[in-house]
Structures are given as structure tokens and as C-alpha cells.
Chains A and B, each alone.
Chain A
Amino acid sequence: MEYRFDEKVRYAKTHEWVRMDGAEAVVGISDYAQDKLSDVVFVDLPAVGKELKKETSCMVIESVKAAEEVFAPVSGVVAARNEKLVKSPELVNKDPFGDGWLVRVRLSDAKELDSLMDPASYKKFVETL
């Protein structure tokens, strides 16, 4: 199976990604993760203003077969959520690094980004799974 790896994002071991866009971090799940999930049918997004803590559960993605917790890859406050996912949760499968993004987060500690994997490291990590 060939997975896509966005070269402009950083990855958590739990398969979330972060891309800085101005002062905010855009968060989503990797192509590997969406493939393992199979067809996503519901995304239980957190409310705007909710505080996220790195490496703790921040939302649930439901596929045909399972409900999966998404762990916040960084700490901060939810600034926006991808409302398109309410009607079209399948965007997480179709475009995990683009239209399938989950939330935008105002970081509380930008240094946390350094603890995430670069694309090459994440790719190697996925190959070991």
C-alpha cells in the first residue's frame, strides 16, 4: 500500500498532522490513518474555544467499523473547526491533508512543534507498522 505523505506538515506518532498557517496550527489525520480507519461516517468535532492538551483525546472520528479518538498533536485553543465535515465526513478519506482538515488551533506553546516528526521520520515510522 502506497500512502501519501504531505511534505509540509509535521506528524505525531498517533498519526495526526500539524501545519502552521500564520499564527494558527491546522490539524488533521494522515493518509495512513484515514486508510486504516476506512470510510469515515461521522466526525465529532470539538467546540470552538475548547482547550486542547497535547497527547490527550480531543475528538472522535467514527468510521463504519469503529470510533477512534484523535489525540491533540499540540496544546492550544480551538480557533475554528472544519464545518464541511458535518455534511461530508468522507473528506477525511478523500483529502486528509487538504479539505479533510479537522480543526485550527491557537498554540499555547510553539516549542511543542519540535517534538513532532518530520515527513521523512514519519514515513519511516509508518513503514515499521
Chain B
Amino acid sequence: MRCVIACLRFSWKNSARENLSRGLAPAEVAEGASRGPAHGPLKLSGRRIALGQHSGKSPARLPEGADAGTPKGQSPNADQAIGEQSLRPMTEENGKPPFSFFMSPHMRTGRGCVLTKLHEWHVRSGARMIDFNGWDMPIQYPTGPREEHLRVRSAAGLFDIDHMGRFEISGPDSLALLQKAQTWDVSRLDEGRAHYSLLCSESGGIIDDIFLYHLPDSWLIIVNAANTTKDLAWLESLTRGLKVTLRDRGSDTCLLALQGPAALEIIKPLCGDMDVDELGFHRVRVCSIVGSPSILCTAGYTGEPGCEMLVPAADSERIWTAVLTAGEARGLLPCGLGARDSLRAEACLPLYGREIDESTDPFSAGLARAAVSMDGHDFVGKPALAAIASRPLPHRLVGFEMVDAGIPRQGYAIQAGGMKVGTVTTGLASPSTGRFLGMGYVEAAFAGIGCEVQIVIRDSSKAARVVKRPFYTSPHWR
């Protein structure tokens, strides 16, 4: 056998090792971004496997005292502990890490992949690990991605999403910075609420999709792993004249996602006296989880109810295993990135590097209503977006269903009447629906529900039909 397509692919531009400079002071990151070595997508030996990238949807600042969880040998403020040397990634060529292992904000594998705080647990538990944008991540556990996927739909799944970036914004001008940097009018977002949003460039391209948590006295931004450095530099570039503090919380915290209809029932007894039932969706609370100061946000990336939890780094494995134990009787499984990708695809949630990137805009991607406040604040990119919105869109992101059997993969051509009219961004054999489904950009004339198109799979043209998104809507929303 020989691999011809790795569907979970590095779809990133120069992204693979961006995270290596995570933990730097913002100014150093900005400088390092231009000075650091230019990395293309990582090539794995042999078969390449990678998920696109996630798009997380979660939380904010840990209460005081959480810093006790800082990894060994690291000062509470990682920003000061890491110098310029961390811009030099460890490579196979030079064969040695550029700095002491314990000085690093994140542990690494021999090949230079960053480890999450739960790495040892994954390996012990038989997870299959892959290099995901420079992070050594579990793609699946022995149960397999299909069963993990179905379990999230029927019961619950626990995901390690520690690779996702998170920054805390505090100071009197926090709101001013946010209103400049991102597309959702957060002056209307009360403390205790969370919202999906975008960072857009001057030209209206999507720099990243993010999740914002409004915490007491601060904000937290959750970003895509591969964009962490880029986003931090972008935010930093907008802080001139503003009294704000930007802090990377990737080192001293760990991020977990508990998803599925049983998720909140499972977490409830572990959250002390917090009333999980009254929370509702997209709410964020500073709370105690299994006795540790944490942040819980009712959000996710699977199309199911659930929550994401920011916990102290030092307590991450204790909390992870406590949640698994608490959920065992309800069928909770640890789930890898494979299931995370198929779950988000069924729910038609975009993945940065697939459905969105700097060459796409929120209108063509169908994200404007969810993430952009055109009638509110002035943010970077707003004039460009207004111009885009004032004209007919040449292309649109659509969902399609295969009429002929076959799996559409990223990059396959979409045709109509023998002419290329678009490109596939994501495709899958959908475990919940039993159908072959995909998303892609097509010329606007072919974007209508019911439009008949063809997907070119290995030189043969397979019939497909544009269908409504999302492909799957959970019956478990209250």
C-alpha cells in the first residue's frame, strides 16, 4: 500500500513551527517573526498525516494562585524567562535542543514537536500521536476515530486541546484594543459571556478565528495553535498608546474540552457549588474544577453541548483523569484530533487553513452573521469588508453531499458541466449520517441549495449536490 492522500494535512503556510517561540514577550515575538528562520510545512518521514487546524472556542484568566502550577524551573512569568534563543528551533541537523529542556515553556519530542501537558498520559494510553502543526498530538486512542466520534454524539468525549493558543488581555484599555483588533462588537458582551470572532487584516482577509471570554477584570482570547505567534504579534502591533497587558497563558495553564450530551452532567459534580445547569451556552465562569482554580466556558467545536476548561498546568493530568473517571459510567471516552475534525466538519464549523485563511473573507465563508458586527465598532479591516459586502460575492463556501460514492478531499476540483467551478476544502465519510460529505468554495452561480456539481476524485468525476449546512444538528441542545 502507498499513501496517496493524507487528508489531515498541514494546510498551513509557514505555520509548522510557529509555536516554538510561544512564551516570548510580545516585542520579541514581533521581532522574531521577521528574524526567525522561515519554515515550510513540516514533512514527516513517510506518510503525512495532519489535521488542518482547529478553531477553538473557549476561555480566560486563571484566578490568582494558579501560577503555582507553573512548570518546574520556570519563572511565573514565562515571558521573562525565555530569551532570544527559543527562536531557534531544535532541528535534526543540529541534533540538540537550543536551550535546557526545563527552561522551555513546553517540552518537546526528539524531532522538536511541542508536547502538551498530557503527553505522557496519551502515550501510556496507547494513543497514536501525530505532528500537528508542530505539536505532538493524539489523533486517536485505541478505540478508533469512528467510535470516538459517535461517542461524542451519544454520550461524551474528552479532548486535549492544550495546543491552542490563549492570551490574557488586561488593563484599562483592554476594550479599546479588542474593538480595534477583532470583528465582534464586544462592548455589548457582558462579563461572564463568550463569543466567536475573527481577526481580519486591512484587506479583510481572515488572520484567525478566535474565541473571546469576558472575565472579571480581563479578557481571554483562544486562538488556533499554528497562529499563536502570528496573532500575538498582530495584537501587539495594535497596542501602541494603549494601557494594556498582553500575556501568553499557554505555559501555565492547560486547555481541555469535554463535549457531548452528557458533558455537563459529568462535569457538574466536579465544579463545587457552581450551578452548571443555569449557565446556558457561551457563558464563562471562574470556578473550581476538581479543587483547582479554573475557568469553564460552555463552548466547543463539535456541534454538541459541552464545555472547555482552562486548568492549572500542574493539575492537568489529575483533572483529566478525574473527569474520565467521573464520566466512565456515562460512556465518556478520551478523543483525538481525528474525531475532533470529523465532528466539526459535520457541524460545518470552519477550520483555519481549510475553510478560512488570509485569502478568504468572512462573507464568502458565511461567518459574517456569527462573527462580524458591521453596524458597530470600528475595527481593522472594516472598510475592506464593507466594500466586499457591497458587491456580489464571486465565490461562496457551500456544503455538498456526494451522490456517487467517494470521499472528497481537500484540494479536489469541483466542476459543473465539465468546467471547474470550485475547490474542496474538507471532506469526510460522516460517521453520524452515513453519508459522504464535503465543503468547498464554488462560484456563486453554483452555490444554491440543490445545485448539481461534480467532484473530481482520482481522475473520475463523481456526482454531488449542494446541501444545507450544517450537515448535522445535535438533538441535545436544550
Interface residues, chain A, with chain B CB atoms under 8 Å away: 14-16, 29, 33, 37-39, 41-42, 44, 57, 60-62, 64-71, 86, 90, 93
Contact = CB atoms under 8 A, between A and B. Distances in A.
Interface string B1-36: 111111110000000000000000000000000000
Q: When A and B form their complex, which 8 residue pairs have the shortest distance between CB atoms, in order from nearest?
A: A41-B429, A67-B5, A39-B146, A68-B1, A69-B2, A64-B145, A66-B6, A62-B407
B182 interface: no
Contacts of A39: 144-146
Contacts of B2: 14, 57, 68-69, 71
A14 to B, nearest CB: 5
Contact of B47 (A29, A42, A60, A66): A66
A42 B405 contact: yes
B350 interface: no
Interface residues of B, number: 26
B338 A38 contact: yes
B90 to A, nearest CB: 26
The B interface is mostly helix, strand or loop, or mixed, namely mixed
10 contacts: A29-B1, A42-B429, A64-B145, A64-B428, A65-B49, A65-B139, A66-B4, A69-B3, A71-B1, A90-B146
The A interface is mostly helix, strand or loop, or mixed, namely strand
Interface in B259-285: none
B406 interface: yes
A46 to B, nearest CB: 12
B409 interface: yes
Given A38-B144, A62-B429, A68 B405 contact: no
Given A38-B144, A86-B405, A65 B7 contact: yes
Nearest to B339: A64
Contact of A66 (B3, B342, B458): B3
Contact of A60 (B4, B6, B405, B428): B4
B436 interface: yes
Contacts of B3: 66-69
A38 B47 CA distance: 13
Given A60-B458, A64-B338, A14 B407 contact: no
Nearest to A37: B1
Contact of B409 (A15, A67, A93): A67
Interface in B401-438: 405-407, 409, 428-429, 436
Given A42-B429, A60-B4, 15 more contacts: A15-B1, A16-B1, A37-B1, A39-B144, A57-B2, A65-B139, A65-B145, A66-B47, A66-B49, A67-B5, A68-B1, A69-B1, A69-B4, A90-B146, A93-B144
Contacts of A44: 406, 458
A86 to B, nearest CB: 7
B128 interface: yes
A69 B140 CA distance: 22
Contact of B4 (A67, A86, A93): A67
Contacts of A68: 1-4
A42 B402 CA distance: 13
B144 to A, nearest CB: 5
Interface string B123-154: 00000100000000001100011100000000
Given A38-B128, A66-B6, A14 B145 contact: no
A90 B429 CA distance: 12
Contacts of A16: 1
